A and B are shown apart, each in its own frame.
Chain A
Amino acid sequence: MAIIERPSSEVTTPAVVAPSQALGAIRRPVASKGWREWLFTVDHKKIGIMYGVVAMVFFIVGGVEALLIRLQLALPDGRILSADQYNQMFTMHATTMIFLFAMPMAGAFANYFLPLQIGARDVAFPRLNALSLWLLVIGGIVLNASWFLGGAADGGWFMYAPNSGPVFSPSNGVDFWVLGLQIAGIASLIGSINLIVTVLNMRAPGMTLMKMPVFTWMILVVQFLLVFSLPVITVALVLLMFQRSYGATFFDVSQGADPLLWQHLFWIFGHPEVYVLILPGFGIISEVLPTFSRKPLFGYPFVVFSGASIGLVGFGVWAHHMFAAGLGPVSVAVFSISTMAIAIPTGVKIFNWLLTMWGGKIWYTTAMKFAIGLVVLFTIGGLSGVTHSVAPSDTQQTDTYYIVAHFHYVLFGGMVFGLFSGFYYWWPKVFGKLLNEKLGSWNFWFMVIGMNLTFGPMHILGLQGQPRRMYVWTEARAGEGLFNFGFWNMVSSIGSFVLSIGILFFLINVVITARNGKQAPADPWDARTLEWLATSPPKEHNFDRIPVVHHLDEFFHRKYEEDANTHTMRQIATGEDLIRAEEAAADSDIHLPGPSYWPLVLAIGVGVLGLGVVYGTPVMVFGAAVVLLASFGWVLEPSVPEAIDYASPDGDGHSKEIATHG
């Protein structure tokens, strides 16, 4: 569907209903300004930005929760939070960071850059894209509304049965959690199908799969992981919902249930989810490292295939989260070995990144610093991961702070650093302004030092035997000397505030840049991939003409040529030249999909429907009615508005073509 060439005159479109008539009274929104422009938009770039904003808000929420946790644990027998509050806090910290920050922020990048990187004008299903966003927002609201409606979920993000049952978690927190995650899950599923179709079907001519940017590749792998893992967690959530709200006994041991059923279902989703979180970070730095090393990615096919095989093997390692759960030795051995196996493609990636920089001409921008930070920190996290794959050793480490250290090195050092690298790299593309490099440097150094201060000591705490998820730790078990809990817990807590200052620098940077940031040149980084062939910020239709691709790193190869004699690279054009050339040869007849009310209405309907589980059938019926209405409205609304409803997206520039057509 997407952005299309206007059908030329000989093609008639007889069956298209006039949009203003769709569902009678409600007139379709036309491109407008102000808040409406955002609320009803189907533009992948606006949706991407909104994903980013939403994710950033939840990043701050989750971060505050983390700080409260660290305050509580700074000293023995902490009194900042009660046991109940602490349990809610760590549950919601993990849930928020994973489902409401990491996934949506990766979604923000994917939404914005994936069509640009493959030379498309939008995603395959723009309205579904909007629906994904709004469902995510509704899911996040439902999840967090529980704070004000009797307490948040308190069973940990893994929500092991039977502790998640109605008896053991009597507040409504878990109900909201189950609903919020189901709604966010639907959002992710729709989003992932949308992105897969976009990548597989809408690449610019000449862009074969092996000429695709690595970021796009990693996002593609992630979406496949989501498509096949989300339904499994959905089943688990539905079973839990039936137990909590409708009296079923799926996890009630007194009825003969097996609590390990939940663990298997959860981790069959949960482990691929880990790669869902990390691969986008890998993708981002696989763009940043080559750009600032002025070299193509070393071993592109190996990086791509290792990404794909990480995804594939990622479905076969889930039980390594259950080494202490009482599986037989044979299963433990098998999952132990498969977990070691997954270290190999991961190692391949690290070596390829290092070899990308080898022999390069490295330019240390903030984006590059974060990218290198990822390589270094992820290496540490990856190696501590290998120590867990050794199952007997893992039985000493699992559920201690050593694990907390490991996955924060992987997820914070890996994913978050990747995302921040992406912020600095692509900010000029999205907003046309460069983030301040000086503040960026402060941002980076505070984050990298804070992160190591926070999570480094947790290795020690874990090996000293401090279990996780404890609302207090006690002097009696703290030990003495250099390695006692007291010192390192304090260091970790101080580190978390250093880390927060780093993130504060980023937020300040954003504000300052927005107020009076430097206007970015069209190609500030001498970049390599297609998104830079669009203007900064890109026009609503992305490309003035659909590029034809001949190379991996197409944009770079349009700028540089290898000298046949000296084998050195010679610049033949600047980015500005290329963009001007595209503008001069712009396509006529570009039509964009029109904005629509229905994604928002449908998402709200789904939210109300979900709340019906807690608040009773009438609410549910009302929600269902809204969903049904919105679905029909959606189906009857053509994706591209009739010419009479069409308004120019960007004032001039294309008003000429648009005027010609109506």
Chain B
Amino acid sequence: MAETATHTDHAADHGHHSSTGLSNNKLAMWLFLGSECLLFGGLISTYMLYRGRVQDGPHPSQIYDIPFTSVSSFVLLMSSLTMVLAVTSAQRNDDNRTNLWLTITALLGATFIGGQVYEFTTFYREGLGFTTSLFSSSFYSLTGFHGVHVSIGVIMLLSTMGIIKRNKITGNKSEVVELVGLYWHFVDIVWIVIFTLIYLIPS
């Protein structure tokens, strides 16, 4: 992932033609995200099929803490806003602000992950292990996969920042930030879908 994101496109930079007008990196990122849609699609379908199949342990309705998850969802949503600000700053070539917004975005992402860790440990203590039931396995797989995506996003944000700071970027800086942004927004949107389907729609 990180490789693609920060891959540079000299061809587009230096006026070599690009038939679509999109840079190679951006096109690749869009394709990757398109592919990811089906990955999450498969996991969400699995969850929807299995959410009611509980032989042991708690049912979804007994365990979800909607207010808590709403707050952490809001945090993640806000991080999309700060990401937008980071991209705008990068486009204005304002390294300091770019770094500031990237930091905030990463912090918000980390907060979301912290919330997820807290949620998972609470669930675990209430008797919902990974292997407890089909519901629990599919729940942890889906949200876990999403959590891993957010974590990778945070690592990407921090790495991008580090690279900008040390002036080691190997390509068009604002495009790198934009690519990380695309990924980040995607992960947010997926969460909105997951949150709606898992937490808000009663099984």
B contact patch SS? helix
Among the stretches A4-12, A306-314, A327-335, A377-385, the one at the interface with B is A4-12
Write out the residue numbers on chain B whose beta carbons fall within 8 Å of the beta carbon of A91. none
Q: A201-B22, A637-B170 are in contact. Are A258 and B8 (CB under 8 A)?
A: no
Q: What 0/1 readout, one digit per residue, does chain A (619-662) give for beta carbons within 8 Å of chain B? A: 00000000000011011111110000000000000000000000
Do B169 and A15 touch across chains, with their CB atoms under 8 A apart?
yes
B125 at the interface (CB under 8 A from A): no
A239 at the interface (CB under 8 A from B): yes
Write out the residue numbers on chain A whose beta carbons fall within 8 Å of the beta carbon of B17. 205
Do A4 and B11 touch across chains, with their CB atoms under 8 A apart?
yes
Chain B residue at smallest Cβ distance from A640: B10
Per the bound structure, the CA–CA distance linking A228 and B39 in Å amounts to: 9
- A1's partner among B11, B43, B173 (CB-CB below 8 A) is B11
Do A231 and B7 touch across chains, with their CB atoms under 8 A apart?
no
Do B19 and A250 touch across chains, with their CB atoms under 8 A apart?
no
Write out the residue numbers on chain A whose beta carbons fall within 8 Å of the beta carbon of B53. 255-257
A449 at the interface (CB under 8 A from B): no
A93 at the interface (CB under 8 A from B): no
Do A201 and B20 touch across chains, with their CB atoms under 8 A apart?
yes
A227 at the interface (CB under 8 A from B): yes
Q: A1-B7, A205-B17 are in contact. Are A256 and B55 (CB under 8 A)?
A: yes
B29-59 residues at the A interface, CB under 8 angstroms: 31-32, 34-39, 41-43, 46, 49-50, 53, 55
Do A250 and B134 touch across chains, with their CB atoms under 8 A apart?
yes
Write out the residue numbers on chain A whose beta carbons fall within 8 Å of the beta carbon of B12. 201
Q: A242-B141, A248-B131, A255-B134 are in contact. Are A231 and B159 (CB under 8 A)?
A: no
A478 at the interface (CB under 8 A from B): no
Do B163 and A636 touch across chains, with their CB atoms under 8 A apart?
yes
Given A192-B31, A255-B133, 8 additional A-B pairs, CB 8 A: A1-B8, A11-B14, A194-B28, A231-B41, A246-B130, A255-B53, A261-B46, A631-B2
- A200's partner among B16, B20, B46 (CB-CB below 8 A) is B20
- B137's partner among A200, A232, A249 (CB-CB below 8 A) is A249
B138 at the interface (CB under 8 A from A): yes
B24 at the interface (CB under 8 A from A): yes
- A246's partner among B14, B23, B131 (CB-CB below 8 A) is B131
A594-635 residues at the B interface, CB under 8 angstroms: 602, 631-632, 634-635
Write out the residue numbers on chain A whose beta carbons fall within 8 Å of the beta carbon of B130. 246-248
Per the bound structure, the CA–CA distance linking A84 and B144 in Å amounts to: 37
Do B19 and A235 touch across chains, with their CB atoms under 8 A apart?
no
A-B complex: 5 closest residue pairs judged by Cβ atoms:
A235-B42, A231-B39, A248-B137, A231-B38, A256-B53
Q: In the complex, what's the smallest C-beta–C-beta distance from A53 to chain B, in angstroms?
A: 25
A16 at the interface (CB under 8 A from B): yes
Can you give 10 A-B contacts (C-beta < 8 A)? A128-B7, A201-B11, A232-B42, A247-B130, A247-B131, A248-B130, A249-B134, A250-B138, A631-B2, A639-B8
B72 at the interface (CB under 8 A from A): no
Do A639 and B7 touch across chains, with their CB atoms under 8 A apart?
yes
Do A635 and B28 touch across chains, with their CB atoms under 8 A apart?
no
A225-241 residues at the B interface, CB under 8 angstroms: 227-232, 234-236, 238-239
Chain A residue at smallest Cβ distance from B39: A231
Per the bound structure, the CA–CA distance linking A255 and B43 in Å amounts to: 19
Chain B residue at smallest Cβ distance from A599: B3
B62 at the interface (CB under 8 A from A): no
A193 at the interface (CB under 8 A from B): yes
Do A202 and B170 touch across chains, with their CB atoms under 8 A apart?
no
B165-203 residues at the A interface, CB under 8 angstroms: 167-170, 173
- A639's partner among B50, B168, B170 (CB-CB below 8 A) is B170
- B42's partner among A197, A202, A265 (CB-CB below 8 A) is A265
A189 at the interface (CB under 8 A from B): yes
Do B28 and A4 touch across chains, with their CB atoms under 8 A apart?
no
Per the bound structure, the CA–CA distance linking A232 and B45 in Å amounts to: 11
- A256's partner among B14, B36, B43, B134 (CB-CB below 8 A) is B134
Write out the residue numbers on chain A whose beta carbons fall within 8 Å of the beta carbon of B6. 635
Write out the residue numbers on chain B whose beta carbons fall within 8 Å of the beta carbon of A231. 35-39, 41-42
Chain B residue at smallest Cβ distance from A254: B55
Q: In the complex, what's the smallest C-beta–C-beta distance from B4 to chain A, in angstroms?
A: 7
* A interface with B by C-beta (< 8 Å): 1-2, 4-5, 7, 11, 15-17, 124-125, 127-128, 131, 189, 192-194, 196-197, 200-203, 205, 227-232, 234-236, 238-239, 242, 246-250, 255-258, 261, 265, 602, 631-632, 634-640
Per the bound structure, the CA–CA distance linking A476 and B134 in Å amounts to: 44
Q: In the complex, what's the smallest C-beta–C-beta distance from A220 to chain B, in angstroms?
A: 12
B18 at the interface (CB under 8 A from A): yes
Contact-size category for B = 35 or more
B66 at the interface (CB under 8 A from A): no
B119 at the interface (CB under 8 A from A): no
Do B163 and A201 touch across chains, with their CB atoms under 8 A apart?
no
Chain A residue at smallest Cβ distance from B137: A248
Q: A202-B11, A632-B159 are in contact. Are A16 and B170 (CB under 8 A)?
A: yes
Write out the residue numbers on chain A whose beta carbons fall within 8 Å of the beta carbon of B43. 235
Write out the residue numbers on chain B whose beta carbons fall within 8 Å of the beta carbon of A634. 2-3
Among B11, B27, B168, B169, the one with the most A-chain Cβ atoms within 10 Å of its Cβ is B11
Q: In the complex, what's the smallest C-beta–C-beta distance from B54 to chain A, in angstroms?
A: 8
Q: A128-B7, A197-B27 are in contact. Are A15 and B49 (CB under 8 A)?
A: no
Do B49 and A261 touch across chains, with their CB atoms under 8 A apart?
yes
Per the bound structure, the CA–CA distance linking A17 and B2 in Å amounts to: 18
Write out the residue numbers on chain B whose beta carbons fall within 8 Å of the beta carbon of A639. 7-8, 10, 170
Write out the residue numbers on chain B whose beta carbons fall within 8 Å of the beta carbon of A16. 170
Q: In the complex, what's the smallest C-beta–C-beta distance from A201 to chain B, in angstroms?
A: 4
Q: In the complex, what's the smallest C-beta–C-beta distance from B56 to chain A, in angstroms?
A: 9
Q: In the complex, what's the smallest C-beta–C-beta distance from B11 to chain A, in angstroms?
A: 5
Among A125, A196, A203, A248, the one with the most B-chain Cβ atoms within 10 Å of its Cβ is A248
Chain A residue at smallest Cβ distance from B169: A15
Q: A197-B28, A257-B50 are in contact. Are A125 and B10 (CB under 8 A)?
A: no
Do B141 and A17 touch across chains, with their CB atoms under 8 A apart?
no
Do B24 and A635 touch across chains, with their CB atoms under 8 A apart?
no
Per the bound structure, the CA–CA distance linking A210 and B95 in Å amounts to: 43
Q: A125-B7, A197-B31, A232-B42 are in contact. Are A5 and B134 (CB under 8 A)?
A: no
Chain A residue at smallest Cβ distance from B172: A15
Chain B residue at smallest Cβ distance from A632: B159
Write out the residue numbers on chain A whose beta carbons fall within 8 Å of the beta carbon of B168. 15, 17, 636
Chain A residue at smallest Cβ distance from B24: A124
Q: A255-B55, A258-B49 are in contact. Are A193 and B32 (CB under 8 A)?
A: yes
Chain B residue at smallest Cβ distance from A122: B11
Do B14 and A200 touch across chains, with their CB atoms under 8 A apart?
no
Per the bound structure, the CA–CA distance linking A131 and B2 in Å amounts to: 14
Chain B residue at smallest Cβ distance from A591: B10
Q: In the complex, what's the smallest C-beta–C-beta distance from A296 to chain B, in angstroms?
A: 23
Per the bound structure, the CA–CA distance linking A258 and B53 in Å amounts to: 10
Per the bound structure, the CA–CA distance linking A444 and B168 in Å amounts to: 56
Per the bound structure, the CA–CA distance linking A4 and B10 in Å amounts to: 7
Q: In the complex, what's the smallest C-beta–C-beta distance from B63 to chain A, in angstroms?
A: 18
Per the bound structure, the CA–CA distance linking A359 and B134 in Å amounts to: 63
Chain A residue at smallest Cβ distance from B162: A632
Write out the residue numbers on chain B whose beta carbons fall within 8 Å of the beta carbon of A265. 42
Write out the residue numbers on chain A whose beta carbons fall within 8 Å of the beta carbon of B170. 15-17, 635-639
Write out the residue numbers on chain B whose beta carbons fall within 8 Å of the beta carbon of A11. 14
Q: In the complex, what's the smallest C-beta–C-beta distance from A136 to chain B, in angstroms?
A: 17
Q: A15-B167, A232-B38 are in contact. Are A193 and B31 (CB under 8 A)?
A: yes
Q: In the complex, what's the smallest C-beta–C-beta distance from A250 to chain B, in angstroms?
A: 6
